[in-house]
Amino acid sequence: MRPGADRAQGSTPRKPVDLLRSERFFAVVGSPCAPPRRRIRRSQPYRGTGEGIARTVSSLEAPMSIDKDVEQLMEICLRGDRREVRSYVDMCLAGHPADELLVGVILPAIAKAELIAREDRATVSALNVMLQSLRIVVGSLLTRLSAEVGGGEPALNILVYSGSGDSEQLQGEIMTAVLECDGHRVLFAGGGVPADEILSDVGRCDPDVLLLFASAAADAPAIREVIDTIRDIGARPDMQIVIGGGVFDRAPGLAEEIGADLWTDEPAMLRQAIVEEHAQRAIPEQRTVGRNRRTSARAA
């Protein structure tokens, strides 16, 4: 669909900025990503000991300028020079592990690109060039990351779903690979999966964690249906439902209201919280979205 096609008839459409021809990219799109907020939203206080995954802790303390690195990456990806992109990856890997780059730089860059697309501040062509270049970066880092995955006993069995868009599924792939690197057994089922199929997969795969990551706004009703069904029938009380990224970062409080056990707006903290906060469960009072509707339906 052409950007802006859904605007009210008679309104003056905003002309997209051709970022490929702009002199300075961030003069158009604004400042780079804000520093990570490094907090985990939960219904109870965080009880972690701070002795979590070594990589996670180091990623928060490493001397990596998030803003600067994200800005540089997006400028390089916008130019679309594949050799320059690969050289940038090699340069970054000389100073930081692949998993730190994926969660600390790549995921924020993808989120920034999504924001630019939603606000119609770039042409479709410019966004496509950027996304394809980001895919090259992700592919190189995932290849390097796969060599670091250990062969020990998995810590948790995790089932992951994402939004159905290209960038959302790319974020899901990144988080899947990073969690696997942390020692978990992870199955990534992609995006656009109907609620009934997710419920079927939960029964078949028997996961310790159901992770809904980088979901789109259109996915929220299906996610609510999945959580409502699991809660209402009392299925899998030992399974933790975790939400991160996507629309839930843009709508504070929504993850709590639909009944998630754990949610975060910081991927690095998500890795640690899945281990240290695995016992965390939602309380019935926090689930407000859809609760009145279901109560009325049962009364009828």
pLDDT tens, N- to C-terminus, the chain (300 residues): 444 444 444 545 544 444 433 443 333 333 333 333 334 444 333 333 333 333 333 433 444 566 888 999 999 999 999 999 999 999 989 988 999 999 999 999 999 999 999 999 999 999 999 999 999 999 999 998 876 666 666 789 999 999 999 999 999 999 999 999 999 999 999 999 999 999 999 999 999 999 999 998 999 999 999 999 998 888 888 999 999 999 998 888 899 999 999 998 888 889 989 989 999 998 877 766 544 444 334 444
Residue 46 lies in a domain: no
Of the residues 148, 171, 187, the one at which a domain ends: 148
How high is the pLDDT of residue 128?
95
How high is the pLDDT of residue 2?
41
CA 17 vs. chain centroid, Å, equals: 27
How high is the pLDDT of residue 160?
98
Give the dihedral sign, CA 80/2/29/56: negative
How high is the pLDDT of residue 288?
63
Question: Same domain, yes or no, for 67 and 185?
Answer: no
57-90: string of b/e by CB count within 10 Å (b at 16+)?
A: eebeeeebebeebbbbbbbbbbebeeeebeebbe
Of the residues 115, 148, 181, the one at which a domain ends: 148
Residue 22 lies in a domain: no
Question: Same domain, yes or no, for 229 and 124?
Answer: no
Question: Same domain, yes or no, for 141 and 169?
Answer: no
Question: Same domain, yes or no, for 184 and 67?
Answer: no
Q: What is the pTM of this model?
A: 0.75
Task: Quote the CA–CA distance of 267 and 279 in Å, as a whole number.
Answer: 19
Question: Same domain, yes or no, for 206 and 233?
Answer: yes
Task: Quote the CA–CA distance of 173 and 261 in Å, as a whole number.
Answer: 22
Of the residues 131, 148, 165, the one at which a domain ends: 148
Question: Same domain, yes or no, for 189 and 279?
Answer: yes
Q: What is the number of other CB atoms lying within 10 angstroms of the CB of residue 250?
A: 14
Question: Same domain, yes or no, for 188 and 274?
Answer: yes
Q: Report the CATH number at residue 253.
A: 3.40.50.280
Question: Same domain, yes or no, for 164 and 103?
Answer: no
Question: Same domain, yes or no, for 255 and 201?
Answer: yes
Residue 278 lies in a domain: yes
Q: Which phi and psi (to 5°) does residue 211 adopt?
A: -105, 120
